[in-house]
Amino acid sequence: LAAMQIEPNIRQPQAINWALHKRWVGINGMERAMLAAAISANGNQLNLPARVRALASEEALEEAVRWGLALRIARRLGAQSRRSLEVSRLVVEDTALVLKLAQSHAALCGQSTEKDIKLLAGRLGLGWRVDIVPDAELA
């Protein structure tokens, strides 16, 4: 989230440097690369530099990108409000990634939300949809 306060054209390099070089305790190179990939995907930057790709397998980086895209949905859905997370669920049902959103907060879902869900669903090899549900269903 802090990266979102940085000027857009330097966000990814700054975030990657932070993930790779901060003095983390108990985190190895692969985990640093995964952190960098998740942070990059949270900012919708999906092309990772070679120095990140060299530290982790494609499978590990893909998992981290998926984490980052899921965080992006949560962050953007309701401007980081706790309530937006309480009235929404992101679930897999059969072959679809489904955002369930309480009827009282249906206005939170717009084109950008749908674009983010579609992107994550594609990375998961799933279809996608948004279900507006009664508030009580998510209580």
Task: List the chain domain ranges.
Answer: 1-77, 81-139
Is residue 2 over pLDDT 80?
no
Lowest mean per-residue pLDDT among 7-11, 53-57, 87-91, 117-121: 7-11
Architecture of domain 1-77: Orthogonal Bundle (1.10)
What rounded mean pLDDT belongs to the chain?
92
CA separation, residue 67 to residues 48, 62, 90, 107, 109 (Å): 15, 9, 12, 25, 20
Among 8-12, 23-27, 66-70, 72-76, the range of highest mean pLDDT: 66-70
Which residues, 6 or more positions from 40, have their beta carbon under 8 angstroms from its beta carbon? 12, 15, 16, 46, 48, 52, 65, 68
Specify which residues 100 forms β-bridges with: 89, 131
The pTM of this model reads: 0.88
Is residue 3 very low, low, confident or very high in pLDDT (cuts 50, 70, 90)?
low
